[in-house]
Each structure stands twice: as C-alpha cells, then as structure tokens.
Amino acid sequence: MRRGGRGRRGPGIRGLWGPGVVLALCATMTPLSPTAHATDPLPLARYFDNTAVSDDTHPETADFDGSGASMSAQDLTAAGWTRGRALTVQGARLTWPCREPGEPDNVRAAGQPVRVRGEGDALAFLVAGTGGADVSGSGTVSYTDGTQSSYRLTAPDWRTGPLGAKAVALPHVNTPTGQLAEKARLYVVTVPIAQGHQVDSVRLPYAADLHVFALSVRPDTDGWTGSWAAPTSTYATVGPWTDRTLRLVVHTSAGGPRVRVRFDNTFASAPVRIGSATVAVQAAGATASDPPVPLTFRGARGAELPAGAQAFSDPLDFTVPADTNLLVSFHLPGTVTAAPLHRLAQQRSYVSEPGDHTADGSPTPYTSTLTTWPLLTGVDVADGPGAVVVLGDSITDGERSTLDANRRWPDVLADRLRAQSAVPRYGVLNQGIAANRVLTDRYPGDGVSTDSGGVSALHRVDRDVLAQTSARTAIVFQGVNDLRTGASAEDVIAGLEELAERGRARGVRVLVATIGPCGGEARCTSVVDGQRVAVNTWIREKAVSDGGFEGAVDFDAALRDPAQPTRLLAAYDSGDHLHPGDAGLAALAGAVSLGALVP
C-alpha cells in the first residue's frame, strides 16, 4: 500500500543563511519622533524607542534598562537570533527586529496602537521587563468587525525572571564598564483573543518597563489533531553525535490522512541543524513497513532551529494509522554534544552509524539504541476532533510500565476513546515528566544538566498544554512530588488553581485528578499523607465549585487498597509503593469519564 506522497511546499529562502532559514525583509522604517503621537495603527517597528542590543566592542551604544546595561549582539548571533530572522516559539511566528546593534529595536509599552492582522487563538508577544520584577499591563485588541477584547500582559524581568519560562537566555549582560557573566532573558508570552474574529490592531498596555520586540497572531490549529507529544524534560549531554541519524519510535493515538512533525530546541543556547527527515510506519525495531517518506520544512529538506525555537514540517500526504508506531528519522549533519530531550521514553529508538540514513527502510545502519526522545516533541494528523492533554509526573510518564508496550495510562485512555463512538475520538497527548512538580523546577531551565525532572508545571503549562496542537481538554494529575519534598497542601492547591485559571482563560477545559496513595514509599510519611488527604478533600469538594476546574477525576479511589487506604492496592503496585504497574495504569485510564472530556 502506498503510504506517502509529496508534501505541500511552502516558500523557502536559500543562500547565505542556508536552506530552511527564513528571513524577513529588512525594510527601512523611520520611527516616530519622540513627540509624535499616532492615532492610526502603525507597524510595531515605527514605535521603536529603546535600544536593547549592543556590539560587545561598543556597549555604550545601548541602554535597555536605564542603567546602561544591554544584550550582546554576539550572544544573539551565537543563539541563532540574527537580525530579521523569523522564529517559531510556542507555535507563533515572530521576527527578531531588523536592527543593527546600537539602533532602536524595541518599544516601551505606552498604549501605542499597533497594526497586526490575522486570525488565530492567541496573540504572541516577544517581551522582557526592566523593572527588576514582573511588569504587567492591560491592552485591547480590535477586530475587523468593529468588536474589541481586552488582555493582560505580564513580562518577566530580563535579568531576574524565571529561566524555566524563557524563550532564550544569553550568557552575558553588556555594561559600559564591562561584560557581566549574567543571564539575559527574553520571553514569549501569549494572551487569548476572540476566536473566529479577524484581528485588525492591538493597543499595547501602559507599562514603561514592559518592552516589546515583536508580536503576531498565533494561527489556530483547526484542521489538525495532536496524535503524539512528549515534553522536554532537560537539556542533557548526548553522544556526541556527528553525522548521525536518529530514528525515534513514537506511538500514535489518533490517525489521519496527512501528517506533520514538530522539533523543539527548548532550553538550548545554540542552534541545531536537522539535515533531512522522514516518516514511516514501523514494521519492527528500526525496520520500516514501506520506504520512509521525506519531510520538508518550508520547502527545504532540513531546518535550523535557533536556541529556544521550534520547527514544524510541512503538511505531508501520508496515511497515519491510529494506535500504531511511527518511525521519525532525522539526520544531524553537525556535531551535537547536548540536546533537549524527554528522558523517560519507555520506548527503544535507534541511532545510526555515520551518514544520512533517513531514507533507509532497513535496520542495518542503526547500530545502537536509546531510550530518550531528543528534539522531537510532536506528531499531528490532519482532521480529527482535537486532543486531550495530560499534564503529569512520572505516573503519567509511564515509570515502571512495560518497555515498548505503550501501557502508560494516557495510552490506555486513547484505546478507550478509539473503542467507542459516544464522544469524539480525541487524540491523547502525554505531557508527563518523571519527578516533575507543580511549584518548583527540578531542571533549572537553562544549561546542560543531569536532572531530568523538568521545569515546574506552572512554568511549562503554556508550552506543554496551551500551545499544544488542538488542545480541547487538559487533565492535571500532579502534586505528589511537591508533597514528598515538603510543600504544603495549601501551596499545592494554590498552584493547581493557577493552572485552572490559565487554562480557562484560553478556553481549554481543565480537569483535576486526586493524588494516589503512596504509603510504604520512603518519602510518603504520615505527615505527607495528611497533606495528600487535604489536597484530595479540596479536589473532591471545592475544585469545581471554587477552584476553577471543570471536573474532577478520583484517581485515589481507583488505586487505593480499601483495607489500607494510604497504600496502593497490591495488584496495582509496581513494587515501589508509589508507581502503579500496568494494571494500575489501566485502572487510572478506566477511572476517567469520557463524557467529562467533551468541552
């Protein structure tokens, strides 16, 4: 059976910057004079009144924060953030300003009316604050039909904001007296807009310490359904891989007639080059059932991902079966010593001998295995009803489930959805990270690390839930790791409420699950269990009425031993008294009311 075809090709620019690197045209645009006031919306660059970037040899030419400090142009170039370059972050296409170092490259938000056109699910702002703390302000969005909506934008500080939520961090801060070895941060922040309405313009907030470098309308993902996803849990030492092909095995939830894949260079400080990529249905191991089909990226064979950015492949006519393993193969032509990855794959994938072996259907070139998913973060299929996103920790990630068997509880939930017709057969996206917490970062959010527990749910929810393809409903199943490391029930409840609020603002239906028992595990003391019971009581009694959630799922009741409610039922215990085995994971999936998933 012929499974592939030629992908739809978008425009690509080749030449000095290499294939797949798209640059905006750096047209000359005269800024407004300091005393001028625009009444009609103008392009953002017309308002640029602040200079954030300096050449390392002339740091005095920029003053981002009023103290003479600025970002390094050399650091930006090393990260792949070159002038006029279009970058995709959280699904939004944003263009780094076409300005030389020392020229105005951002605007201090003061209510300026900005011309922005498009229809989508969010506005994306490339921002940073300079007041030493988060800076917020409210603005309005005007639509072509004459209606308006309001938004509130918060920009973290460029020197003290959380690294776990940043788009990119640069290693230095320039000052007139010398360069400081201090992280300079930039953030992409999205805010909701009225869906189905064409944006005409945006009025910025009034907040002098809020700096805007770029903004755009993030297109919605109607027409696509998320079928598989994995969150980045760390930036770790790998290989090193030089001229190697990675063949990653991923399991689909939903199927469709076309496919696209997503690569993310999350938490990175330097670009990574993907030379070519293919997709195929797995026969067994590294063997493809049919010849792998090439993917393209804006018409090019490969793509360069700047630090913190992502790349979607072009839509490809390729029949993706539901409930099957795909082989996504990509060639790394350069030397890669560290990469963003999802550590706990519970799935064997493959690394080749030297060379581009993306087109090989044979397993012969693939001489070693790995059990992580580097760089690849999503597989989408055309059509379908959308996706359920599960935000969780190691229990969701599949810790202690059978290797290569796809018995994580979100996999079993996907099986249940496919086997019925009463509700839409949603895709299911597993955004679990082993050791993850609601409130605090395990991985610090920047730099090479051996800790793969990820940044906190609060720092990753925008990227790992709200920006996921076709997210309709989210299930939050977290908190046990916070409690086991000393957090109070009150703090965990406050974190869960914030997750609900952020999802609700985006029109995502958010459910919350009670925390399962873990008596007998070393850190699950009687004090911890008391806090767990307090969180669960709140979930059962107040999460929906007072906490902003649309529903609750009682995983505690599904897993506990009735004779010893502080412990897992013996048949469900994997042996460590914390993680359910395959039978317990199936019980979790069975406890979810499918009707509760429907918005």
Tell me: pLDDT of 446 over 90: yes
Instruction: Say yes or no: 326 and 373 in one domain.
Output: yes
Provide mean pLDDT across the span 334-361.
98
The reply to whether 464 falls in a domain is yes
Burial class for 287, CB neighbours closer than 10 Å (0-12, 13-18, 19+): middle
Average pLDDT over residues 594-599: 96
In terms of DSSP H, where are the helices of 376-525? 394-397, 409-418, 457-461, 480-484, 489-505
Supply the mean pLDDT for the chain.
94
Q: What is the pLDDT of residue 222?
A: 85
Residue 528: its pLDDT value, please?
Answer: 98
* Within-domain flag for 224: no
Residues with Cβ < 8 Å from 544, sequence gap 6 or more?
A: 550, 551, 552
Computed on alpha carbons and rounded to an integer, the radius of gyration of the chain in Å comes to 24
Task: Point out the domain boundary residue: 330, 359, 381.
Answer: 381
Check residue 39 and give its pLDDT.
Answer: 78
Measured between alpha carbons, how far is 576 from 567 in angstroms, rounded to an integer?
11
**CATH code of the domain containing 491:** 3.40.50.1110
Would you say 244 and 273 are in contact if contact means Cβ atoms under 8 Å apart? no
| Residue 417: burial class (beta carbons within 10 Å; 0-12, 13-18, 19+) | buried
Q: Answer with the residue of higher pLDDT: 28 or 427.
A: 427
Residues 98 and 237 in one domain: no
Is residue 68 classed as helix, strand or coil in its secondary structure?
Answer: coil
Q: Verify that 391 and 509 share a domain, yes or no.
A: yes
Residue 69 and residue 192 in one domain: yes
Q: What is the mean pLDDT of residues 138-167?
A: 98
Q: Kindly give the pairing relationship between strand 509-513 and strand 551-553.
A: parallel
- Same structural domain for residues 374 and 414? no
126 and 96, same structural domain?
Answer: yes
Confidence of residue 595 (pLDDT cuts 50, 70, 90): very high
Give the span between the Cα atoms of 357 and 361, in whole angstroms.
9
What is the model's pLDDT at position 17?
Answer: 30
How many domains does the chain contain in total? Answer: 3
28 lies in some domain: yes
Structure token pair of residue 151 = 């938004």
pLDDT at site 28: 59
Same domain, 352 and 407: no
Residue the block writes with tokens 């290499």: 18
Q: Given the structure tokens 């506005």, which residue do they identify?
A: 123
Residue 143 has what pLDDT? 98
Q: Is residue 14 part of a domain?
A: no
Given this model, what pLDDT does residue 27 score?
62
- pLDDT score of 33: 64
At 522 the pLDDT is 96
Three-state SS at 340: strand
Q: Residue 93 corresponds to which amino acid?
A: R
Give the lowest-confidence range in 18-27, 274-283, 546-555: 18-27
User: pTM of the full predicted structure?
Assistant: 0.94
Helix 409-418, helix 582-590: angle, nearest 10: 50
Q: Is residue 428 part of a domain?
A: yes
Q: Is residue 7 part of a domain?
A: no
Residue 29: pLDDT over 70? no
Give SS3 for 163: helix
Is residue 466 in a domain?
yes
Q: Is 329 found in the same domain as 271?
A: yes
> Is the domain of 284 the same as that of 325?
yes
Report the pLDDT value the prediction gives residue 21, as an integer from 0 to 100: 41
451 and 572 together in one domain: yes
Residue 226 in any domain: the answer is no
Task: For residue 265, give both structure tokens.
Answer: 């260079």
pLDDT tens, position by position, 298-321:
999 999 999 999 999 999 999 999
| Last-in-domain residue among 381, 413, 438 | 381
CA distance 578 to 351: 33
Burial class (CB in 10 A: 0-12, 13-18, 19+), 133: exposed
pLDDT in tens, 522-557: 999 999 999 999 999 999 999 999 999 999 999 999
Question: Does residue 38 surpass a pLDDT of 70?
Answer: no
pLDDT tens by residue, 217-268: 999 988 999 999 999 999 999 999 999 999 999 999 999 999 999 999 999 9
End position of a domain, from candidates 191, 218, 245? 218
578-589: b (≥16 Cβ within 10 Å) or e: bbbbbebbbbbb
- 37 has a pLDDT exceeding 90: no
pLDDT for the residue 6: 32
* Domain span at 51: 23-218
What residues are paired with 122 via a beta bridge?
A: 192, 218
Q: How confident is the model at residue 34 (pLDDT cuts 50, 70, 90)?
A: low
Same domain, 174 and 278: no
Q: Are residues 279 and 175 in the same domain?
A: no
Tell whether the model's pLDDT for residue 25 goes beyond 60. Answer: no
pLDDT in tens, 468-519: 999 999 999 999 999 999 999 999 999 999 999 999 999 999 999 999 999 9
Q: Judge if the upstream peptide bond of residue 444 is cis by omega within 30 degrees of 0.
A: no
